[in-house]
Amino acid sequence: MSLISAAQQLRDALRPLHFSAPTAYLYQPLDYAWQPHQAYLQRYGHSGKKVIFVGMNPGPFGMTQTGVPFGEIAAVRDWMGICEPVGKPEREHPKRRVLGFDCPQSEVSGRRLWGLFAQRFGSPQAFFQDHFVANYCPLVFMEDSGRNRTPDKLPADETQALETICDAHLRAVITTLQPQWVIGVGAFAEACALRAREALSGAFQVGRILHPSPASPAANRDWAGAATRQMVKLGVWGPDAPPARFG
């Protein structure tokens, strides 16, 4: 199965789900931002990766705006070269507008993550030759206030239905890309990767790096250095960065 087919199945399977209060707004970037998401998969999701990084779900100024995991606008537009039309969610919170690539805010987590990859590998072609970045859940959950709500905060009955669908998609991504490593960006994503390995009886290894969110005090103290040290300690990356190759 191609990553595009897997994403289409994920999108369609998630559409019937409903979430109760305090979730008041639900954004589905695979619907309204499908064009940049599809461009990301077409350009960089070819089969055969050594490492897959997995995040939890979209941030308000990242994938919510661009359709790309951790999709900080400058990284997607200027580094990856993706800038496709973005529509609107069915119901839009007045404080959380989707402006696509015109959004003036920067997604800090995405700026840190993609900034590290750009610094270490130089070009997107060099990074994506052996690496890929995916999100476990593509849905954006918001409360009435506009406050972001992450999947780990959902009640058990809603979590079960969501996990069934998102677990199946993560297994499809892993089966397609056949990685040696699946790296959870944070503890939640690591747990998802461990479930996938158990279900697939996979030969791949699972690891974790610190989540780059500014909500984490540890991430605000040289996140790039900390994440690099974790990757080196796992044995995924060598101690020295490869020479930068600019495409």
- Res 105: pLDDT: 95
Top-tier CATH class for 3-234: alpha beta
Sorted by sequence, the CB contacts under 8 Å of residue 201 that are 6+ apart come out as none
Calpha distance 110→68 (Å, rounded): 10
Report pLDDT digits (tens) over 170-229.
999 999 999 999 999 999 999 999 999 999 988 899 999 999 999 899 999 999 999 999
pTM of model > 0.75: yes
**What's the average model confidence in pLDDT over 147-176?**
95
- Res 246: pLDDT: 39
Q: Tokens standing for 195?
A: 């479930």
- Res 52: pLDDT: 98
Domain ranges of the chain: 3-234
- The helix-helix angle for 223-234 and 108-121 (nearest 10°) equals 60
142 φ, ψ to 5°?
-135, 145
